[in-house]
Amino acid sequence: MKMTNPLRYPGGKYFLVDYVAKVLEVHDLTGCIFVEPYAGSAAISLEMLARDLVNKIVLLERDPLIYSFWKAVVESPDELCREIDRLDISLETWHRLAPLREVQSPLEYPPLVLGVAGLFFNRTNYSGILKANPIGGLQQNSRYTIDCRFPKERVKSHIMFIAQRREQITVKWGDAVRFLKEHQTTMENQRCFAYIDPPYYEKGKSLYRYYYLDDDHRALANLLKISSFPWLASYDDHPFIIDLYLGQAHSYWMQRLYLDYTAQNRKRGSELLLSNVQIPPVAQPPQAARPQLA
Ligand SMILES: C[S@@+](CC[C@H](N)C(=O)[O-])C[C@H]1O[C@@H](n2cnc3c(N)ncnc32)[C@H](O)[C@@H]1O
């Protein structure tokens, strides 16, 4: 059964699910521990679990509100659903919860408190962006209102569906590079696969409250370079990133996935897939004059 997601996430990667499943299959990694150190909505991890392709997922997230949401899903899903029932989806609640956006550490409040706030802002703000304004604006003078993306029953059923697998889900808070450094040896000695989806190089700052500067992207690339556990990274297609991963002594596999959202009239672009294991070509409609990469 398809794992449905309670979050609407900017940069969510559900569209890569089949591709990642294929990578696991090709490299005989079915049943592995699947580590997603930039979890966001954890769309791929959760779907791998729902398809029984992995034994366990480890989700790490830097944003205290998103981390706390997942923590509450695995630790207290019933209470979380009761809180959702009680939540008035209104501008008043938006202002009441707003101070929680200033919280720097998830240790400052119980996961339930921050998790409800994270879910609230994710479902009531423009494009699910936690630092954005509410849908309909602060004056609510649009035909879209703050509650139009918060179907409570559906969100609760997604939470309860995920919670059935809570024994197989570990949720951690922190910085991905530090986490990978600390767990590098363990991950190399166990059957682990890391799906790395850092904040976008170009748009990260506008989409997430925590994003990377050049040195952070470089630190991640340098760490991945010396890591021998299998990993797959997805990035926006930018010369800086291509140079980081394909320049100098790096020898990664790379594929380019063309995103073409013109049907929805939204955006056009491409996503880079990088890995230290051989990754299959991306299935997509043939188009002339695409640059050939590794
Ligand atoms: C591109 S999004 C991940 C989206 C996710 N793959 C999905 O499908 O929903 C990047 C995520 O990394 C998180 N993040 C930013 N800086 C981080 C850091 N230093 N360590 C861990 N996570 C971080 C952001 O909050 C954001 O949720």
Residue with the nearest Cα to atom 27 of ligand 1?
40
Longest dimension (CA), the chain: 56
- Residue 287 alpha carbon to ligand 1 centre in Å: 31
Q: Is the CB of 67 under 6 A from ligand 1?
A: no
pLDDT digit string (tens) for 84-120?
A: 999 999 999 999 999 999 999 999 999 999 999 999 9
Could you tell me which residues come within 8 angstroms of residue 280 by beta carbon, excluding any fewer than 6 positions away? 19, 22, 23, 26, 255
Closest CA to 165 of 13, 65, 55, 83: 55
Q: 248 or 146: which carries more pLDDT confidence?
A: 146
Which pLDDT value is given to residue 254? 85
Predicted local confidence at residue 267, as pLDDT:
52
Number of the ligand 1 atom closest to the C-alpha atom of 40: 27
Coil vs helix vs strand at 111 = helix
What percent of the chain is modeled with pLDDT above 70? Answer: 91
- pLDDT at residue 44 tops 80: yes
126 has a pLDDT exceeding 90: yes
Span 245-261, average pLDDT = 75
Measured from the CB, is residue 210 less than 6 Å from ligand 1?
A: yes
pTM for the model stands at 0.93
Expressed in angstroms and rounded, the spacing between residue 197 Cα and the centre of ligand 1 is 7
Does residue 47 line the site of ligand 1, with CB under 6 A?
no
